[in-house]
Amino acid sequence: MSEALQLPVIDLSSEDRLSTAKSIRQACLDLGFLYLVNHGVEEELIKEVFEHSKKFFALPVEEKVKFAVKNHRGYTGLYDEKLNTSLNAAKGGAKESFYIGTLAENQLNQWPSEEDMPSWRSTMEAYYKKVLSAGIKLISLIALALNLDEDFFQKSGALSKPMAFLSLIHYPGDVDSSREREYGAPAHSDYGMVTLLLTDGVPGLQVCREKSEQQRVWEDVPSISGAFIVNIGDMMERWTNCLFRSTMHRVMPTGQERYSVAFFLEPNKDCIVECLESSCSESCPPRFPPIRSSDYLEEGIRLAATASTENHRINI
């Protein structure tokens, strides 16, 4: 049995920003995971998003595949997010997803018609905007946590046109238990900046503190109603010279149907990700060369297509 984690709870509405930033810093140093409450996304909107998500995934497969993923947007079916298909053991997770990209490029997104699914698009767009706003506020606190000006990432242009993806995820409860080493989502770390996740309360999410250890110890991440589970991604780990941690995690089947909604906040595609001055010194020089954000993310996607099952960086 896995132990249950006690993650710090961060109040986004707190007026004591320095104290909040200090708590975020400790969370990111320790594990890179935290809960975010009072984030400004209304309970009613969250409820509607989950209801609309369930309606879509309840459609017949032949209807869902009409939205087959293009330009990283749209539907991916069970086991479709695969690894290197030349490896017999390689397979994707026991989940299906629907991806919505930045609304600034809405022409690339795929939407069910208003006739077939009334208010589906407007609900997802409203949620996207609300979570983006919360994410940007969180990034300001992360800047403070890094001993930077709170508007550092805004002034650097990282958030002028952020690349953000919303992912609706469905884990069926009746997965094929005869499959070897079945996962809802195999062990991975997110390769972006920061992830904000909501779940329906069904367990399954686990983290591993030490991803380099041969014998991994997994700990359950309980859900808190209405709270985001936030985790730092590989890009932020790189930005901070490995000061902040991008922690390996996975989703295990529990025999229960499970829904989650993940929001992946990434910087402007032309943003240069290079070691922050507050994260390096003579004794701790930069570990990585500067890289353009879009180049880094594209490399992450390429590696995800060729990595082994245990290291496949897919989204939760």
> CA-CA distances (angstroms) from residue 283 to 279, 280, 286?
11, 8, 10
Of the chain, the end-to-end C-alpha distance in Å amounts to 21
Decide: residue 245, CB within 10 A, 0-12 exposed, 13-18 middle, 19+ buried. buried
Secondary structure E strands in 172-315: 185-188, 194-199, 205-208, 218-220, 228-232, 248-251, 258-266, 272-273, 291-292
DSSP assignment, residue 227?
A: P
Specify the 3-state DSSP secondary structure of 137.
helix
pLDDT of 297 > 90? The answer is: no
What is the distance of C-alpha 17 from the center of its chain?
24
Segment 82-99, tens digit of pLDDT: 433 333 334 567 899 999
Q: Which residues pair with 244 in a beta bridge?
A: none
Instruction: For residue 234, give both structure tokens.
Output: 């590989």
pLDDT of 165 > 50? The answer is: yes
Query: How many other C-beta atoms can be found within 10 angstroms of the C-beta atom of residue 166?
Result: 24
Segment 239-259, tens digit of pLDDT: 999 999 999 999 988 889 999
Q: 205 with 229: CB under 8 angstroms?
A: yes
Q: Which residues pair with 198 in a beta bridge?
A: 261
Segment 96-125, tens digit of pLDDT: 999 999 998 899 999 999 999 999 999 999
Domains of the chain: 7-310 (2.60.120.330)
- pTM for this entry: 0.90
